[in-house]
Amino acid sequence: MIAVIAGLFGLLIGSFLNVCIVRLPADQSVVTPRSRCPRCGQPIQWWDNIPVLSWLLLSGRCRSCREPISTLYPLVELAVGLLWAVVAFRYGPGMEALTAALFGTMLIGIAVTDARSYIIPNEFTWGGLALGLVLAAGSGASALLAALLGAAAGFSLLWVVGVIGKWAFREEAMGGGDIKMMAMVGAFLGWQGTLLTVFLGALIGSLVFVPLTLAGHKKLVPFGIFLALGAAATYLVGPAILTWYGGYLGRT
Ligand SMILES: [Zn+2]
């Protein structure tokens, strides 16, 4: 029951996240004006703006001009809805579920915005960092200290990687958005989780981009997607990996 309510709430959050994904890179307000069809300019009524359902009922087209509406919108809504349902089911109602749901929602927002616009908006990075620190402070001074340490680790690690990359490749290797994003991730995952996130992100990124580059595609790398995947993986299985690695080091 809790999972169903959380899932429905997640769909609404996902709907708002779509607005953020489209408007934040263009520096537009996410509050006003009401969403319009980009082709005919017709304002979208609330009954045509019900997450996932409206898109299905309209067969993915604008009601007035039949312009196709991107499948990205219902997919983001579905992903956020599922995320909120799953964490509510997994952790039960409480701070742990809320923290996981908010962190996951911002990672989805970052990944999709970076893929669409090659931008990671400050609202997700600095805003997420502030949120992570506040949530950690709610669990006491030692949690806040761990979050601050994680944020500092994430920021400085990516900054150093950026400086080295610029020196080695003579071009911007690491965007400012990636650096700020890892400060946010560090606040949620701590410094060990931050190192694991960067490692996993680079690993997943290489697995995708090395074949593409060899095949002759030369494209800008939205690294935020892979950092977001790495952070999600670290959140889910990071403690198990770090424990295994610690045991592995202990044996050798
Ligand atoms: Zn239209």
**% residues pLDDT > 90 (the chain):** 68
Q: Distance, CA 71 to ligand 1 centroid (Å)?
A: 15
> Does position 15 have pLDDT exceeding 80, yes or no?
yes
pLDDT bin (cut points 50, 70, 90) of residue 205 is: confident
For residue 203, give Cα distances in angstroms to 110, 196, 249.
19, 10, 21
What is the rounded distance in angstroms from the CA atom of residue 196 to the CA atom of residue 200?
Answer: 6
Q: pTM surpassing 0.85?
A: yes
Q: Distance, CA 159 to ligand 1 centroid (Å)?
A: 43
Q: Distance, CA 78 to ligand 1 centroid (Å)?
A: 23
How confident is the model at residue 153, as a pLDDT?
A: 96
- The pLDDT tens digits for 106-150 are 999 999 999 999 999 999 999 999 999 999 999 899 999 999 999
Q: Distance, CA 44 to ligand 1 centroid (Å)?
A: 9
Q: Distance, CA 59 to ligand 1 centroid (Å)?
A: 13
Q: Distance, CA 62 to ligand 1 centroid (Å)?
A: 5
Q: Distance, CA 154 to ligand 1 centroid (Å)?
A: 43
Q: 136: closest CA among 158, 120, 151, 156?
A: 151
pLDDT bin (cut points 50, 70, 90) of residue 78 is: very high
**Which stretch, 23-27, 48-52, 180-184, has highest mean pLDDT?**
180-184
Around 244, how many Cα atoms within 13 Å sit in the side-chain half-sphere?
A: 6
In sequence order, the 6+-apart residues with CB closer than 8 A to the CB of 110 are 120, 124, 125, 181, 224, 227, 228
> Does position 169 have pLDDT exceeding 80, yes or no?
no
**% residues pLDDT > 70 (the chain):** 96
